[in-house]
A and B are shown apart, each in its own frame.
Chain A
């Protein structure tokens, strides 16, 4: 046995390691890492081609289109009521919210206004879509950083909301319930009381998630300071929803431009967070779910009576014109730019979906981050592929 003391051995290892580190910094072969298209963090089929230098990303290029369905083209050959069937499938976990801005845009062109009861029920279902959608995020965000339990809680408790949406509309994921001039039906008997019970359960769910994740050492270490988006950069990329509010921008379409929904008659608060990191995005969404459950409670209490459908012609022809209506959907601002030529079908529908803008920041944001943080950042930006690809 050679007589090398422990001390000598350790110093040798340290020297080797230092050499290796220098080598890494001087000449490393670049590596291209393909993430996806099938990856749990991508909520669908997004592919990211990341060029790596060691553990660090030097360039990331998202590649989408694996699920492009061409809704803008398809909408041009469908009548206005038929279009809602398509747009249900843009953001499939908060489907009802997709219908609302399109219907509002058509109503704006037709100069039809939904009766108050319809507007209130619309707002209830709109907020419930948000709860169902973001509940999934809250569980999923834990999963991205290695905590499996929150995901099970989310899938369990989301059912309370989905059951209520199904009870009212007949569809768990694709309600297709909104109509030009109002709603398909009124609410079923007993729905209000059951909904308020569901909202209570969702508040408990939020408390549970908060208890599991917030303050958890691993969760905080993997989210704090990761993927910081300054407000001005976020705005120029068109980020919206919780993603921009987590960067300290106090802007919520529900409050600033309610567009036919009744959020302004409720008592609620727009939550913002100054940090702009992954944790801030998680935290803002958590508060938003809580705020939405309170909104639904208030809406249920103050629901006006009356019809749920205005008088509209049976064959809907929308007068010529252009209208853009946007609402604050679960994923961010969603808008439809509808061009009509007085026909049965829209001439052009530009779908401004939230996730397309939200995810367009990734080439900028992923530059320089470490590989494990890619998943945290993608998870915290929270996108649904259907909302990107359309």
Chain B
């Protein structure tokens, strides 16, 4: 029992039989993946299925618009959730902006910067990826779609004609990563002032706040309940 347990609730054992057994197969998502692969063929270059949880599909850049159209019109994924980008190349600044106290807390191996690109779920071959998520609210399914973008041509087809809501998300992605969307009705800055230089969410864009004033780091960590002083040093 916790030290700080409330006095006005009876302490009952949490004997909740809610331990859902691990779902090993996920027929709905497997069928969905099969349909996407059947429609797009070789354009599906990677996928990852977490049973009972989520689905990732990575498609070829040439099939990006077709993927959106098929998801919406063919499969009934009417709900546009979000679209964004990711920069897989780690920051060249490494952790030198972090406080010394962090570096000593079991993070010595990061002193040399690993600049290799390690792709995430469903793979990837390039530094930049665009990913979007759409939902089928009738069947309660969501799918995250990714696309690789080569460094020398950071552009991909726009989804605005399929999902109207992609408009602002693509503007944000263009502004933050410098990825352009072909067929977008007006790629303008959305958050940053017009004429802003640079793409802030790229990993090689330095965070000046950290440069000017180093972060104090993980200091003054509060006590966890039932945590003894001896265990604190890990």
Chain A residues with CB under 8 Å of chain B are 64-65, 68, 70, 72-74, 77, 79, 82, 115-117, 184-193, 232-233, 235-238, 249, 251, 256-257, 303-309, 312-315, 321-324, 326, 333, 335, 337, 339, 341, 343-344, 348, 350, 352, 356-357, 360-361, 364, 389
**B contact residues around A343 at 8 Å (CB):** 110
A333 to B2, CA, bound (A): 33
Is B31 interfacial (CB-CB < 8 Å)?
A: no
A352: nearest chain-B partner, CB-CB: B82
Could you pull out 15 A-B pairs where Cβ atoms are within 8 angstroms? A64-B190, A65-B193, A73-B200, A74-B207, A79-B102, A186-B2, A191-B8, A192-B8, A251-B137, A257-B140, A308-B2, A321-B120, A333-B81, A337-B82, A361-B165
Q: Nearest chain B CB to A15's CB is how many angstroms away? A: 44
B139: nearest chain-A partner, CB-CB: A256
- The answer to whether A314 touches B164 (Cβ under 8 A) is no
- The answer to whether A314 touches B82 (Cβ under 8 A) is no
Of listed A232, A233, A235, residue having the most chain B CB within 10 A: A235
- Interchain CB contact (< 8 A) of B86 among A74, A249, A339: A339
- The answer to whether A307 touches B1 (Cβ under 8 A) is yes
**A contact residues around B80 at 8 Å (CB):** 235-238, 357
Is B38 interfacial (CB-CB < 8 Å)?
A: no
Per-residue CB contact flags for chain B residues 195-234 toward chain A (1 = under 8 Å, else 0) read 0000011000101001000010010011011110001101
- The answer to whether A341 touches B118 (Cβ under 8 A) is yes
- The answer to whether B54 touches A235 (Cβ under 8 A) is no
A257 to B140, CA, bound (A): 8
Interface set, chain B 70-110, CB cutoff 8 A to A: 72, 78-82, 84, 86-87, 97-98, 102, 105-107, 110
Is B9 interfacial (CB-CB < 8 Å)?
A: yes
- The answer to whether B232 touches A77 (Cβ under 8 A) is no
Given A72-B201, A192-B8, A337-B84, A360-B16 contact (CB < 8 Å): no
**A contact residues around B72 at 8 Å (CB):** 236
- Interchain CB contact (< 8 A) of B1 among A72, A305, A315: A305
B202: nearest chain-A partner, CB-CB: A73
Chain B residues with CB under 8 Å of chain A are 1-2, 4-14, 16, 54, 56, 72, 78-82, 84, 86-87, 97-98, 102, 105-107, 110, 118, 120-121, 131, 133, 137, 140, 142, 144, 162-165, 167-168, 176, 189-193, 200-201, 205, 207, 210, 215, 218, 221-222, 224-227, 231-232, 234
- The answer to whether B9 touches A192 (Cβ under 8 A) is yes
**B contact residues around A68 at 8 Å (CB):** 191-192
A115 to B225, CA, bound (A): 13
- The answer to whether A352 touches B81 (Cβ under 8 A) is yes
Consensus secondary structure, chain B interface: loop
**B contact residues around A184 at 8 Å (CB):** 222
- Interchain CB contact (< 8 A) of A238 among B6, B82, B227: B82
A359: nearest chain-B partner, CB-CB: B168
Q: Nearest chain A CB to B164's CB is how many angstroms away? A: 5
- The answer to whether B163 touches A236 (Cβ under 8 A) is yes
- The answer to whether A306 touches B1 (Cβ under 8 A) is yes
- The answer to whether B224 touches A235 (Cβ under 8 A) is no
**B contact residues around A74 at 8 Å (CB):** 207
The 6 closest A-B pairs by CB, nearest first: A305-B11, A65-B191, A237-B165, A238-B165, A68-B191, A116-B14
**B contact residues around A232 at 8 Å (CB):** 78
**A contact residues around B121 at 8 Å (CB):** 321-322
A333 to B165, CA, bound (A): 14
**B contact residues around A233 at 8 Å (CB):** 164
Given A238-B79, A238-B165, A389-B191, A77-B9 contact (CB < 8 Å): no
Q: Nearest chain B CB to A64's CB is how many angstroms away? A: 7
Known: A65-B191, A307-B226, A324-B54. 16 other contacts (CB 8 A): A68-B192, A70-B200, A77-B207, A77-B210, A79-B102, A115-B14, A116-B14, A186-B4, A232-B78, A315-B105, A322-B56, A324-B142, A337-B82, A343-B110, A344-B102, A348-B86
**B contact residues around A190 at 8 Å (CB):** 7-8
- The answer to whether A186 touches B78 (Cβ under 8 A) is no
**B contact residues around A357 at 8 Å (CB):** 80, 82, 165
